[in-house]
Amino acid sequence: MKKLLHLMKPYKWTAVCAVLFTLMNNICVLYLPGVFAKIINKGALKGDMPYVYKMGGLMLLVAVLSGVTYIASAIYASKVTSSFARDLRRSVFVKAQEYSMSDYQKFGSASLITRCTNDITIIQRSFMMILQMLLPAPIMAVVGLVLAFRTNATMGLVMAAIIVITGGIAFSIGSKAIPLFRQLQVKMDNLTRILREIISGVRVIRAFHREKYEEERFGSSCKDYCDIAIETNKIFAVLLPTLTLLTNLGIICILLFGGVKVSEGIMQIGSIFALIEYLTIILFTVTMSILVFMEIPRAQSCGERLSEVLDLEPEIQDKENALTQDSALSPIRAQLEFRNVSFRYTNAEEAVLNKISFTSKAGETTAIIGGTGSGKSTIANLIPRFFDVDEGEILIDGVDIRNLSQKELRSRIGFIPQKTFLFRGTIASNIRYGKEDASDTEMIQAAKNSPGSYLHIFHGKGI
Ligand X SMILES: Nc1ncnc2c1ncn2[C@@H]1O[C@H](COP(=O)(O)OP(=O)(O)OP(=O)(O)O)[C@@H](O)[C@H]1O
Cα–Cα nearest to 226, from 183, 177, 179: 183
Chain center to CA of 238: 28
Residue whose CB is less far from ligand X, 137 or 352: 352
Residue whose CB is less far from Mg ion, 196 or 376: 376
Smallest separation, CB 105 to ligand X (Å)? 6
Residue whose CB is less far from ligand X, 103 or 189: 103
- Interface segment toward Mg ion; rule CB under 5 A; list 49-57, 244-252, 308-316, 414-422: 414-422
Considering CB distances under 5 to 8 angstroms, the limit depending on partner class, which of Mg ion, ligand X, none binds residue 345? ligand X
Q: What is d(CA 438, CA 361) in angstroms, rounded to the nearest whole number?
A: 27
Smallest separation, CB 419 to ligand X (Å)? 9
Cα–Cα nearest to 131, from 282, 15, 23: 15
Cβ atoms within 10 Å, residue 167: 19
- Residues that bind ligand X (rule: CB under 6 A) add up to a total of 12
**Do the Cβ atoms of 353 and 303 come closer than 8 Å?**
no
Q: What is d(CA 234, CA 252) in angstroms, rounded to the nearest whole number?
A: 27
Angle between helical axes of 211-263 and 269-311 (0-180°, round to 10): 150
Query: Judged by CB under 5 A, does residue 381 bind Mg ion?
Result: no
The enclosing H or E element of 457 equals: strand 456-458
Residue whose CB is less far from ligand X, 217 or 376: 376
**Do the Cβ atoms of 313 and 98 come closer than 8 Å?**
no
Select the residue interacting with ligand X from 309, 378, 457, 463 (CB under 6 A). Answer: 378
Q: What is d(CA 109, CA 117) in angstroms, rounded to the nearest whole number?
A: 12
Cα-based distances in Å from 63 to 24, 43, 140: 12, 19, 17
Q: Is 415 helix (H, G, I), strand (E, B) or coil?
A: strand
Smallest separation, CB 413 to Mg ion (Å)? 17
Q: What is d(CA 309, CA 106) in angstroms, rounded to the nearest whole number?
A: 10
- Interface segment toward Mg ion; rule CB under 5 A; list 207-215, 355-363, 373-381, 420-428: 373-381
Residue whose CB is less far from Mg ion, 342 or 377: 377
Query: Judged by CB under 5 A, does residue 418 bind Mg ion?
Result: yes
Select the residue interacting with ligand X from 248, 366, 374, 439 (CB under 6 A). Answer: 374
Alpha helices in 133-263 (DSSP H): 137-151, 153-174, 178-200, 202-207, 211-263
Select the residue interacting with ligand X from 376, 410, 435, 456 (CB under 6 A). Answer: 376
**Do the Cβ atoms of 309 and 115 come closer than 8 Å?**
yes
Residue whose CB is less far from ligand X, 317 or 374: 374
Residue whose CB is less far from ligand X, 184 or 380: 380
Considering CB distances under 5 to 8 angstroms, the limit depending on partner class, which of ligand X, Mg ion, none binds residue 375? ligand X
Considering CB distances under 5 to 8 angstroms, the limit depending on partner class, which of ligand X, Mg ion, none binds residue 340? none
**Interacting positions 335-364 with ligand X (CB under 6 A):** 345, 348, 352
Cα–Cα nearest to 151, from 69, 252, 33: 33
Chain center to CA of 270: 48
Residue whose CB is less far from Mg ion, 182 or 376: 376
Q: What are phi and psi of 198, to 5 degrees?
A: -65, -40
Select the residue interacting with Mg ion from 377, 381, 405, 430 (CB under 5 A). Answer: 377
Q: Compose the 390-429 pattern: x for residues touching ligand X by CB under 6 A, - for all others.
A: ----------------------------x-----------
Contacting residues for 311 by C-beta, under 8 A, at least 6 apart:
3
Considering CB distances under 5 to 8 angstroms, the limit depending on partner class, which of Mg ion, ligand X, none binds residue 370? ligand X
Smallest separation, CB 418 to Mg ion (Å)? 5
Smallest separation, CB 439 to Mg ion (Å)? 32
- Give just the sign of the alpha carbon dihedral 272, 275, 279, 280: positive
Select the residue interacting with ligand X from 43, 375, 392, 462 (CB under 6 A). Answer: 375
**Do the Cβ atoms of 414 and 434 come closer than 8 Å?**
yes
Considering CB distances under 5 to 8 angstroms, the limit depending on partner class, which of Mg ion, ligand X, none binds residue 300? none
Select the residue interacting with ligand X from 47, 373, 398, 452 (CB under 6 A). Answer: 373
- Interface segment toward Mg ion; rule CB under 5 A; list 56-64, 163-171, 226-234, 413-421: 413-421
Q: What is d(CA 42, CA 52) in angstroms, rounded to the nearest whole number?
A: 8
Query: Judged by CB under 6 A, does residue 284 bind ligand X?
Result: no
Q: By CB under 6 A, name the binding residues for ligand X.
A: 345, 348, 352, 370, 372-378, 418
Q: By CB under 5 A, name the binding residues for Mg ion.
A: 376-377, 418
